[in-house]
């Protein structure tokens, strides 16, 4: 289903670790739709993941960057513009990690050094990415920057732990920077709030299988699969959504607007 939606566009895709990653599918689909991209991930993920396989498939280059390091981000944007031959039309920030979740710390017993890391990696890195692009004037007019979020930014999901705070901050950065970047360069910034998805980051959340099944039964259309999330990202990079900015966009099969579903009622 390729329609040359991104013909002639250039972009950076953060966060492809393996074929389950949302970013992996976005990268594959963006190239199918005619875009030229660079891929990036943290140096440790480059050693552990399979990003080089993806780079070969997409005929592109991997530029390592820890998204919490402004220096790495400057290098990434500069090299991407060189390698792709001009300013960028889109950026996908697809990054999440909580040391508190990883180490099994309860929300009522958070380690605050870990919390700082959660926020820096999963949210402040979005600001650092955007600010780097802004200072280097790396985006074209009407360019599109996207982050991936989850509805725990609005409602409480006990197993989601301190990632809920990170997602609230991420969505707030999209609104705040969306204002400034919109006014000065007509660049748009949005977050997509995706259904639970079976990836490394997703399945790291406590009780993920039940969480996934519950959301699936609550959503009139079922949980949104990775491929559909990738397509929504492409649409947000395309010229069809030029006037959409500063939004948190639910991509969740309707979950966010359901109080209770018959399928859940039937369980009682
Ligand atoms: N899986 C879900 O259920 C779900 C639901 C809604 C939103 N999301 C969001 O989607 C995004 C992508 O996650 P995913 O589910 O594809 O999982 P994933 O584990 O495949 O991707 C997370 C990525 O973050 C990268 N990362 C971690 N620390 C980094 C750092 N310091 N610098 C650069 N990169 C770093 C990892 O290497 C990995 O590639 C995340 O923001 C996640 O919170 C996921």
Name the residue of 96, 122, 154 to mutate for ligand 1: max ligand atoms within 8 A of Cβ: 96
> Which SS3 state, helix, strand or coil, does residue 38 take?
strand
Report yes or no on 133 lying in a domain: yes
Q: What is the tally of structural domains in the chain? A: 1
Q: What is the pLDDT of residue 203?
A: 84
User: Does the C-beta of 39 come closer than 6 Å to ligand 1?
Assistant: no
Q: What angle do CA 55, 60, 66 make, to 5 degrees?
A: 70
Report yes or no on 4 lying in a domain: no
From ligand 1's centre to the CA of 109, what distance in Å?
24
Report yes or no on 137 lying in a domain: yes
Domain, as residue range, for 173: 10-266
As beta bridge partners, residue 249 has 192
User: Does the C-beta of 150 come closer than 6 Å to ligand 1?
Assistant: yes
201 — pLDDT class (breaks 50, 70, 90): confident
From ligand 1's centre to the CA of 149, what distance in Å?
10
If you ran DSSP here, which 8-state letter would residue 62 be given?
Answer: B
Phi-psi region of 142 (alpha: psi -120 to 50; beta: other; left: phi over 0): left
Cα 98 to Cα 118: distance, rounded to the nearest angstrom = 5
Residue 175 has pLDDT above 90, yes or no: yes
What mean pLDDT is predicted for residues 146-150? 98
What mean pLDDT is predicted for residues 236-243? 98
**The domain spanning residue 253 has which CATH number?**
3.40.50.720
User: Does the C-beta of 251 come closer than 6 Å to ligand 1?
Assistant: no
Cα 24 to Cα 74: distance, rounded to the nearest angstrom = 23
Report yes or no on 122 lying in a domain: yes
Q: State pLDDT tens for residues 102-142.
A: 999 999 999 999 999 999 999 999 999 999 999 999 999 99
Report yes or no on 82 lying in a domain: yes
200 — pLDDT class (breaks 50, 70, 90): confident
Q: State which ligand 1 atom lies nearest to the alpha carbon of 22.
A: 16
Q: What is the pLDDT of residue 197?
A: 95
Residue 204 has pLDDT above 90, yes or no: no
Tell me the Cα Rg of the chain: 18
208 — pLDDT class (breaks 50, 70, 90): confident
Residue 1 has pLDDT above 80, yes or no: no
Residue 49 has pLDDT above 80, yes or no: no
Crossing angle of helices 22-32 and 51-58, in 10° steps, is: 10
Which residue CA neighbors atom 20 of ligand 1 most closely?
Answer: 21
Q: Could you tell me which of 136, 129, 137 has the C-alpha nearest to residue 67?
A: 129
From ligand 1's centre to the CA of 131, what distance in Å?
20
User: Does the C-beta of 223 come closer than 6 Å to ligand 1?
Assistant: no
Name the residue of 15, 101, 118 to mutate for ligand 1: max ligand atoms within 8 A of Cβ: 15
What mean pLDDT is predicted for residues 189-213? 90
What mean pLDDT is predicted for residues 38-65? 94
Phi-psi region of 15 (alpha: psi -120 to 50; beta: other; left: phi over 0): left
Residue 159 has pLDDT above 80, yes or no: yes
Q: What is the pLDDT of residue 202?
A: 83
Report yes or no on 3 lying in a domain: no
Q: What angle do CA 27, 118, 218 make, to 5 degrees?
A: 65
Cα 252 to Cα 214: distance, rounded to the nearest angstrom = 13
What mean pLDDT is predicted for residues 182-207? 92
Residue 244 has pLDDT above 80, yes or no: yes
Report yes or no on 119 lying in a domain: yes
Report yes or no on 95 lying in a domain: yes
Q: What is the pLDDT of residue 38?
A: 98
> Which SS3 state, helix, strand or coil, does residue 10 take?
strand
From ligand 1's centre to the CA of 65, what distance in Å?
14
Q: Could you tell me which of 106, 23, 35 has the C-alpha nearest to residue 67?
A: 23
> Which SS3 state, helix, strand or coil, does residue 46 take?
helix
Q: Where are the alpha helices (DSSP H) in 103-254?
A: 112-119, 125-135, 163-185, 200-203, 208-218, 226-237
CB atoms within 10 A of CB 267: 8
Confidence (pTM): 0.98
User: Do residues 94 and 26 touch, judged by C-beta distance below 8 A?
Assistant: yes
From ligand 1's centre to the CA of 268, what distance in Å?
34
- The whole-chain average pLDDT of the chain stands at 96
User: Does the C-beta of 40 come closer than 6 Å to ligand 1?
Assistant: no
Residue 158 has pLDDT above 90, yes or no: no
What mean pLDDT is predicted for residues 87-94? 98
Q: State which ligand 1 atom lies nearest to the alpha carbon of 17.
A: 39
């Amino acid at each position: 289903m390729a329609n040359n939606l991104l013909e002639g566009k250039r972009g950076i895709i953060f966060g492809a670790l393996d074929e389950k990653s949302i970013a992996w599918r976005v990268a594959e689909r963006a190239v199918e739709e005619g875009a030229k991209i660079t891929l990036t991930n943290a140096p440790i993920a480059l050693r552990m993941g399979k990003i080089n396989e993806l780079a070969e498939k997409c005929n592109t280059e991997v530029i390592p960057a820890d998204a919490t390091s402004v220096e790495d981000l400057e290098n990434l944007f500069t090299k991407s513009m060189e390698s792709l031959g001009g300013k960028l039309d889109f950026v996908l920030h697809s990054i999440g990690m909580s040391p508190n979740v990883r180490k099994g710390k309860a929300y009522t017993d958070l380690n605050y050094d870990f919390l700082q890391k959660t926020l820096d990696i999963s949210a402040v890195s979005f600001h650092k990415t955007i600010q780097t692009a802004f200072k280097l004037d790396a985006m074209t007019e009407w360019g599109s920057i996207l982050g991936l979020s989850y509805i725990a930014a609005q409602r409480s999901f006990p197993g989601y732990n301190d990632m809920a705070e990170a997602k609230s901050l991420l969505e707030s950065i999209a609104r705040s920077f969306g204002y400034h970047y919109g006014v000065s360069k007509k660049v748009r910034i949005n977050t997509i709030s995706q259904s639970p998805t079976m990836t490394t980051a997703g399945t790291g959340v406590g009780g993920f299988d039940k969480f996934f099944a519950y959301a699936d039964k609550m959503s009139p259309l079922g949980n949104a699969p990775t491929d559909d999330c990738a397509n929504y990202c492409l649409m947000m990079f395309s010229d069809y959504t030029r006037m959409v900015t500063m939004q948190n966009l639910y991509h969740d099969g309707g979950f966010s607007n359901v109080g209770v579903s018959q399928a859940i009622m039937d369980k009682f």
